[in-house]
Structure 1
Amino acid sequence: MHLVIGILIFGITNFLTAEPQETLKLVSSENAPYVSSSEEKGVLLEITEAALKKAGYQIKVDFFPWIRAKVYANPKGYHGILPLFGQDHFEDGFVTSDPILKNDLGILSKQSLDAKDGTDLYRYLAQNPSLQYSALRGDSIKFPFLRSGNLTLCSSNQQQIELLGLNRIDAAIIDKHIASDIIVNSLPHLINKLKFTNLDLKDPYYYLGFSKTIPDHLELRDRFNKALKEIRSSGEYHQIVSKYGFHRHENYIGKKNIVIGAVKTPETLAMKELSQHYQNKYPNIEIIWEILDETQLRNKLWGGIRLDYVPYDVITIGSFESRVWPRKKWIAPINTAAYDLNDFIKPVIDSMKYEDEVYGIPFYSESVMTYYRKDVFEKAGIAMPAQPTYQQILKYAKKIHDPKNNFYGIGIRGKPGWGQSIAFISLLVNTFGGRWFDRQWNPEIDSTEWRDALKFYKKLLEFAPPQPWELGWQENQNLFSKGKIGILVDATSLAGRLYDSKKSEVHDKIAQTKAPRSKYLGGEKWLWSWAFAIPANTSSKAEANSFIRWATSKEYVRLAARTNGWVSVPLGARYSTFNKQYKKVAPFADFVLQEIITSKSTNFTAKPIPYSGPQFVSIQGFPAIGKNVARNISLYVQDKLSLAEALADSQAFAKHHFRLNNRLEN
């Protein structure tokens, strides 16, 4: 497998003498979230890409198992290897860059292991001669106290964790973030069964290694190092590490620090700006925001919970987490005495309750509706019905599709992810009569209903913008607001931006109607909220609760309205938001409120089911299952997998993980 990253600089005088289009060939291994061949390339690969772009290069990365990558890095014509770490860079075959990023190498083990944070690896191994442990084959960690039979060398990090889960080893030497990514996305049955111990390392950094077989390897290293310093100075480095949640926050002396892990939406970005008002009111508190895209935040939160290192005092959770996390005691109940709970829309606040206690306070909520360009429909002679069918939507999208003029019939979620493409696909499957599981928790992904729904999904994407598998709700929202899409089926919460004259070129050309249906009416829309919650392990619960009260209050809504206009306030959580001032600038207000109130979290499928949530399955293993299905469907719409292959693999994955651990919940 290889990944080609184009980094070309045209017409710019660079400080380097390298040709702008010269290609550097690197080898690496799949180790998300550091390096990956997926769309999310990983924090190390993106930093390397940015520095080499500054140096005037494009790079080509080939991916192999780690031992092969290190072998191939020298004699096969490659310029280097990413990453090397610790003792690796003392190997004779490479010279290394300056440190790129601090690693989190440590010991992953069962809960019973007595290792403590800050453990010296070699001393610990010497003091525990019977310990059975593993490492990645090809790593050059030295084991001076190794006893025969103690060490198992594995071909992948996932194999290390699998052996640990099977009790064939006591511990694995692995990076914390790599371990959490694997558990989140591939081995959810190991939730809460493992712990991570940080090691005391003399050289805890990742490097880019340059092969000594390349004649100009020293010059390449120096150029890279100079470029790396430049992107650190410019702030680009900080943007990349923050994107992946690797930023290490400074402590503000004399103040109480509150670290907030928030999903990246227009509402949270606006709140970050307005939070200075809160800090002015409470000058002894310093708010530190870490805003990540939906996938990155979920990976960090889920990974942290699995390995007990959630680094936040306040987090944003959704309606999925509110159904799963309270019963696991991963988040704390919120004291709601100071909240006007009756002002919260009833199904919205009810979705945040577990055993009569509230575990999250919503700051905005949504259902699904169909946006369309009324001017385009009028010109085409189309009358949109109050309750369209998907078959009608397909017909309309085909009629108004005009790619020669950069205008596309429809925008639907295609970016793979259980909160992206799967959110839409689940609704489509519901309304085609399908379900994820039967009442005995047998997967029903490889079924006629799923097959019909996905064939239709692929047909719809023929009238979407190019590369629809790269487009999520944000990308489609932006395209629609720029007048590039005729129909958009997505969240009601997008309305504020689409109808805002400051942010949308078509704000006065939009109409809305209900979400489409097919054979079955009832599962065509969701109820989703983004809410603030408090991790159970934070020591700042009182301060966290204080911030949440402010951020979800009526006063905050009025502040947002004064600052950015009523049309852009957080929508769908409180009845009081739907007031005369709001309705005056939001022609969609009454419609959206009705769609939220009438959304279902049960009885949304044609056949009986054992789970709640129309666009997800309310079990803790669903993120792994959803991600796998999303990946397979993405490959199907790109013609890289047949539909039969995509469904069969998805079915097998779900079945395998259910067999490993009863409903992925224990």
Structure 2
Amino acid sequence: MRNIMGAALCALLAGGVAFGASAETKLTIATVNNGDMIRMQKLTDDFTKKNPDISLEWVTLEENTLRQRVTTDIATNSGQYDIMTIGTYEAPIWAKKGWLAPLENLGADYDVDDIMPSIRSALSNDDKLYAAPFYAESSMMMYRKDLFEKAGIEINGRLTWDQTLDIAKKLNDPANGVYGICLRGKAGWGENMALISTMGNAYGARWFDEEWKPEFNGQEWKDALSMYVDILGKYGPPGATSNGFNENLSLFNAGKCGMWIDATVAASFVTNPKDSKVADKVGFTEAPCAVTCTGANWLWAWNLAIPASSKNTEAAEKFIAWATSKSYLELVASKDGWANVPPGTRMSLYQNEKYLDAAPFAIKTLAAIDSADPINSTLKPKPYVGVQFAAIPEFQGIGTVVGQQFSAALAGQVTVDQALANAQESTDRTMQKAGYY
């Protein structure tokens, strides 16, 4: 028996297995296919060199698919991912449910207090941080200064949606491959509804009244959806119902959009000569208002979080600390320039003269983020928190269905009135079933 055990031990040692050596930890990371996340993946050699005992496996998905996958995974406690890219909608809800691990060991030099207060608050529960922001955004208008000048258009103050419609009509030149405006048309609570919700806010609409009853049967939503269908249907690119953030970014960078109202994070891409044919022709201004400017631009952050089901929380927290640190911003700046660092998460970035000099959009981005108030984002009082979403568990399903109805209206499959009636009926049914009234 001793000879057999000795032979086995020799075989193990000969095969390179040493007792006491630490096994490699593999982290599976689910993320969205946005440009800043793609850049992060390209830079992770910096992390693995510092942490040779940790390897990374990436699952990179389109936005709607990512949300479906991570929601299913965390709700069923299946433990497929060690790190998830989630939004400001999911973070507080999932933290309260006990689905996320608190981030309590990010390191002495991480500087949690440098995170934007509004973002940190949105990602915390009981004063504990449950997700770390990778980048934060609001929304604004990006436009072609050369086309505006050619058409004799000057921006004096914040535009209304009626004025934006008139401008889109003037800029629209499909014969030469230029469309008056590009907007999100792809259905999804975080796709077309991110934009349309802020349009609704601008027209005085709410998702729910103070008794939690949906209000899609009101004039405010009719005005907002009618404007959306009118402006994008007449002066947007063909096939707009397939276009989300990434598709519109490609169109704008190819010079095909006179205007684009979307996430402030796009600014570094549309002004980067490596990505954009119109990099030196882009101007920035606030998202349009209507009867009010309250809630007319959204507030969002993409964040990294650890599901409670992960068995690799220590290694996962090391990666999150690396990817969301001030030193990561410096790493991106050293590789791609200060204008391309992930924006909106750290106060110190907006005190950095190198960044302010390199990023002509920096101050407008900060102003947009600061102006977005998740508590007071509608003209009338509301019972929910959130600018372009309602922070309740049921919203993900509600927003998806409503987004599909509004996309169908854009495609001409249903009328605006039919889409709103369907949205009202389905949302009312869900809220009653959930016991809100």
Q: 1:460: which partner in 2?
A: 231
Tell me, in whole angstroms, the C-alpha distance in 2 between the residues paired with 1:304 and 1:408. 40
Tell me, in whole angstroms, the C-alpha distance in 1 between the residues paired with 2:107 and 2:434. 39
Tell me, in whole angstroms, the C-alpha distance in 2 between the residues paired with 1:631 and 1:471. 13
Shift of 1:663: 4.5
Q: Alpha-carbon deviations, 1:503-535, whole Å to 9, x = none?
A: 111111011111100002211011111111110
Q: 1:561: which partner in 2?
A: 333
On the 8 A contact 1:619/1:663 being kept in 2, the answer is no
Tell me, in whole angstroms, the C-alpha distance in 1 between the residues paired with 2:379 and 2:356. 36
Which structure has more strand as a fraction of its residues?
1
Q: 2:249: which partner in 1?
A: 477
Cα 1:439–1:337 shift into 2, 3 Å? farther
Q: CA RMSD in A?
A: 1.5
Cα 1:310–1:660 shift into 2, 3 Å? farther
Equivalent of 1:650 in 406, 419, 423 = 423
Q: 1:602: which partner in 2?
A: 375
Equivalent of 1:283 in 52, 60, 73 = 52
Equivalent of 1:316 in 60, 79, 85 = 85
Shift of 1:306: 2.8
SS of 2:384's partner is coil
Q: Alpha-carbon deviations, 1:603-631, whole Å to 9, x = none?
A: 11111111011111111111111111111
Equivalent of 1:270 in 39, 49, 71 = 39
Confirm whether residue 500 of structure 1 aligns to residue 272 of structure 2.
Answer: yes
Where does the alignment leave 5 or more consecutive residues of structure 1 unmatched?
1-252
Shift of 1:337: 5.7
On the 8 A contact 2:212/2:383 being kept in 1, the answer is yes
Q: 1:382: which partner in 2?
A: 153
SS of 2:306's partner is strand
Equivalent of 1:393 in 150, 164, 168 = 164
TM-score after normalising by structure 2: 0.92
**Which amino acid counterpart does residue 429 of structure 2 have in structure 1?**
H
Q: 1:218: which partner in 2?
A: none
Shift of 1:438: 0.8
Q: 2:136: which partner in 1?
A: 365
On the 8 A contact 2:269/2:340 being kept in 1, the answer is yes
On the 8 A contact 1:621/1:663 being kept in 2, the answer is no
Kindly report structure 1 stretches of 4+ aligned residues shifted beyond 4 Å. none
SS of 1:512's partner is strand
On the 8 A contact 1:396/1:409 being kept in 2, the answer is yes
SS of 2:44's partner is helix
**Which amino acid counterpart does residue 242 of structure 2 have in structure 1?**
E
How do 1:398-547 and structure 2 match up within 5 A? Answer: 398-461=169-232, 462-547=234-319
Tell me, in whole angstroms, the C-alpha distance in 1 between the residues paired with 2:436 and 2:56. 38
Shift of 1:568: 1.4
Tell me, in whole angstroms, the C-alpha distance in 2 between the residues paired with 1:494 and 1:385. 23
**Which amino acid counterpart does residue 205 of structure 2 have in structure 1?**
G
Tell me, in whole angstroms, the C-alpha distance in 1 between the residues paired with 2:251 and 2:411. 21
Tell me, in whole angstroms, the C-alpha distance in 1 between the residues paired with 2:107 and 2:212. 39
Tell me, in whole angstroms, the C-alpha distance in 2 between the residues paired with 1:591 and 1:520. 19
Q: Alpha-carbon deviations, 1:58-112, whole Å to 9, x = none?
A: xxxxxxxxxxxxxxxxxxxxxxxxxxxxxxxxxxxxxxxxxxxxxxxxxxxxxxx
Larger radius of gyration: 1
Tell me, in whole angstroms, the C-alpha distance in 2 between the residues paired with 1:639 and 1:509. 34
TM-score after normalising by structure 1: 0.61
On the 8 A contact 2:134/2:345 being kept in 1, the answer is yes
Tell me, in whole angstroms, the C-alpha distance in 2 between the residues paired with 1:605 and 1:536. 34
Shift of 1:385: 2.4
Where does the alignment leave 5 or more consecutive residues of structure 2 unmatched?
1-21
| Equivalent residue pairs, number | 412
Confirm whether residue 352 of structure 1 aligns to residue 123 of structure 2.
Answer: yes
Q: 1:307: which partner in 2?
A: 76
Higher relative contact order, chain-length normalized (CA < 8 Å, sep 6+): 2
On the 8 A contact 1:326/1:359 being kept in 2, the answer is yes
Which structure has more helix as a fraction of its residues?
2
Identity of aligned residues (%): 39
Q: Alpha-carbon deviations, 1:47-66, whole Å to 9, x = none?
A: xxxxxxxxxxxxxxxxxxxx
Cα 1:362–1:277 shift into 2, 3 Å? same
